[in-house]
Structure 1
Amino acid sequence: MASDIVARRVFAGLILLSIVLLAIIVQPFAKGFFLAAVLAGALYGLHKKLTRAFRGRANLSAGVICFGVIIALLLPLTGFTAFLISEAADGVRFIRETLRTEGVEGLKERLPQPVRKLADTVMDRLQVQEVQLDEKIQEQVSSQGGTAAKAVTGAVAATGSLAFQTVMMLIAFYFFLVEGRKLVLWLESVSPLKRGQAEEILREFRLVATSVLVSSVATAGVQAVAALVGYLIARVPVPFFFAAVTFFLALVPAVGAAVVCFAAAGLLLLTGHQWMALFLAVWGVLVVGLVDNIVKPLLVKRGLDMHGAIVFFALLGGLAVFGTVGLLLGPLIVSFFLALIRIYERDYGRPSPRPADPPTPPV
């Protein structure tokens, strides 16, 4: 008997050791795997419909969905990059032609009034220090060369890391779609919980993940529409482009939709429209920025059996602790706690008191 207890303890220790080692191995891909599991849970219904449409070809269905996700990620990025490159090329061409035909003074006269004053100040300063200009340039290049190289290296490393995480996420997403049901059944079979409890918890996770994803996209759409109204009122150039940028940045909580409003307000300020710039900045704070805190908890609550205040603080708490991923982790952790409490109360709680039998009427 004693040897059996020792063997159990040793085996439990080995299981804990294997869990720690597994966590170390998975840690570099943890965020990608988590997002893949969330996306797979949210799109599992679509995967089932496509599998039926493709006559049971689950691999083909998963491939089509992965391709759709890639297109949804790459197309906006490609479009924005092409637009920015085109605008930058037009700007460089305009500056080159103006300098060639009219010189620096002609270019300065074409600038908006606030920018023209700044240009006059800079040019006056350069004229005063014209003798020392070459030395200053050489000194700045020498001192900042290492910093610039580090910045470029860091940017390249960050871009490579993001691309790597995205690729890992897509690979895991594909296999979660294809083998997700088998994974759930395996977890149900090896879980020490009662039959059906593990699947119930995973079903709760899927419901929360779907609600948060749908609410995030819908809230970004509402913010983009609200921002578009402000852009049209303030007469921002290319307002629909700024609205599209607002939509995609609204999906990134660390950046937010209001940043685009501030950038557009700065553009208006530089072109001499001070009052419109002030209006757009206030609009970005009071309307575009705050609508996220109102609309998202309401939309998340619609898909969950959870009070709106709990959803609100779960979103903010998850964002504060875990960063961007916390928008999913916060509600998932709270729903996990509530699901465990509900299961315990249902399966292990005290039995409800049996009602007393009614008194027998006298004969």
Structure 2
Amino acid sequence: MASELTARRVFTGLILLSIFLLALVIRPFAEAFFLAAVLAATFYGLHKRLTRRLRGRNALSAGILCTAIVLALLLPLGGLTAFIVTEVSEGVEFVTTTVQQEGVQGLVNKLPAPVRGTVSSLMEKLPVEQQNLDQTLQEQVSTQGGTAAKAVTGAVAATGSIVFQTVMMLIALFFFFTDGKRLVEWIESVSPLRRGQTRELMREFRSVSGAVLLSSVATAGVQAVAALIGYFIARVPAPLFFGGLTFFVALIPAVGAASVVLVAAALMFFNGHPWAALFLAIWGTVVVGLVDNVVKPLLAKRGMHQHGAIVFFALLGGLAAFGTVGLLLGPLIVAFFLSLVRIWERDYGRSSPRAGDPATPGPGSEGRQGVPTVRAETGEQVPLTPTPPPESH
């Protein structure tokens, strides 16, 4: 018969094997589950209030919130993406048709006046005849059809992957709303930590994830408003469209809101408004670009209860290490570390009572005669009696 130590080692190995296999199963949906957990932690308080208003209909409340998240985030983003794809497709078709029917000179004639002269002078300096240039460009347009088709196929495949991950996130979010309380209770029951420590770490996760998520959305809104002011001052065509585009692009850390302002500045320059373009370039770099580095740490540190510099470097470090999802993972990792340090110092460090140390009176007892204290086991009040002094010999 195997010894207790051997059985324990085998069982530990089986646990590690099961964790490894579980990680393989969860890996395709890891980001979806993580985002669902962040959203559930952020909106769980709203879910509880809505459940009370619906007279305890937990599933109905979860369904309403999931639908609201789809309508508030995914539909506007999908509409904006469809608009951009349509405009780009029409632009490519316009260029192709113009080159095939009127040649390169016809395409140059349709350019804005400031650009038209520069392009015409460059074409005159090219050591290529106009007819050969038209033929070469038409061949390039024809041969790029297959590449464009491949690009469209890749975009469709990427869109399908995003849709799949979004659906998985919504399914996980629904179950986190409906069964989140029981899940937390189960995790705390099987956790090897002391009672209350697991729940404390989860509260920290909820606070930090909510603070980072809400600060990201709020910062994108502030950047969009700042950019919209610049669009109105520079008289950019369709300023509301560019303002909405700035908001959604601001949620993508790798791109940033300032890029949209710089694109608008380039369009203004090509349309013959160099001073407006210069103003937009400075406005986008100084005002819109710096909002993300100033406003987001200030908003996030309120929920994280950490110094602004720590929040700032946690955001940048998470972004550099994990990509876009690192904006959430970076602050969570830092908060997780600081929470563990705080729990260790409180429960196991110098300030924690050690075995053999004299018991210190609690806040309800002051060590005076006749002041009652509370027995921890039964809650019964027991009067304190003074310890008699030792007898002198």
Above 0.5 in TM-score?
Answer: yes
1:249-292 Cα offsets, whole Å, 9 max, x none, are 11111111001101100110110111211111111111101111
Q: What is the TM-score of this pair, normalised by structure 2?
A: 0.80
Task: Tell me if 1:188 matches 2:188.
Answer: yes
| Greater relative contact order structure (CA < 8 Å, 6+ sep) | 1
Q: Distance in 2 between matches of 1:239 and 1:132?
A: 38
Cα gap change, 1:343 to 1:111, in 2 (>3 Å):
same
Task: Tell me if 1:158 matches 2:169.
Answer: no
Structure 1 residue 347, shift from structure 2 partner? 1.1
Cα gap change, 1:152 to 1:266, in 2 (>3 Å):
same
Q: Distance in 2 between matches of 1:75 and 1:284?
A: 27
The range that moved more, 346-355 or 111-120, is 346-355
Q: Distance in 2 between matches of 1:160 and 1:93?
A: 25
TM-align CA RMSD:
3.3
Q: Distance in 2 between matches of 1:238 and 1:139?
A: 33
In structure 2, the residue matched to 1:70 is 70
Structure 1 residue 121, shift from structure 2 partner? 5.3
Task: Tell me if 1:306 matches 2:306.
Answer: yes
1:288-318 Cα offsets, whole Å, 9 max, x none, are 0111101111111112221111111111100
The range that moved more, 298-307 or 59-68, is 298-307
Q: Read off the aligned partner of 1:195 and give its amino acid letter.
A: R
The range that moved more, 321-330 or 154-163, is 154-163
Q: What is the TM-score of this pair, normalised by structure 1?
A: 0.87
In structure 1, the residue matched to 2:291 is 291
Structure 1 residue 74, shift from structure 2 partner? 3.3
Q: Read off the aligned partner of 1:42 and give its amino acid letter.
A: T
Asked if the contact 2:208–2:331 (Cα under 8 Å) also holds between the matched residues in 1, the reply is yes
Cα gap change, 1:80 to 1:310, in 2 (>3 Å):
same
In structure 2, the residue matched to 1:169 is 169
Asked if the contact 1:223–1:247 (Cα under 8 Å) also holds between the matched residues in 2, the reply is yes
Structure 1 residue 228, shift from structure 2 partner? 1.1
In structure 2, the residue matched to 1:130 is 131
Q: Distance in 2 between matches of 1:90 and 1:154?
A: 19
In structure 2, the residue matched to 1:241 is 241
Q: Distance in 1 between matches of 2:163 and 2:22?
A: 23
In structure 2, the residue matched to 1:361 is none
State the 4+ residue runs in structure 1 displaced beyond 3 angstroms: 81-95, 102-111, 118-127, 131-142, 144-150, 351-355
Structure 1 residue 153, shift from structure 2 partner? 3.0
1:68-116 Cα offsets, whole Å, 9 max, x none, are 0110123313543565588779989999xx99xx999898666421232
Structure 1 residue 63, shift from structure 2 partner? 0.2
Q: Distance in 2 between matches of 1:170 and 1:92?
A: 36
Equivalent residue of 1:56, what SS? coil
In structure 1, the residue matched to 2:388 is none
Equivalent residue of 1:8, what SS? helix
In structure 1, the residue matched to 2:47 is 47
Bigger proportion of residues as helix: 1
Asked if the contact 1:126–1:133 (Cα under 8 Å) also holds between the matched residues in 2, the reply is no
Structure 1 residue 154, shift from structure 2 partner? 2.2
Unaligned runs of 5+ in 2: 361-393
Equivalent residue of 1:230, what SS? helix
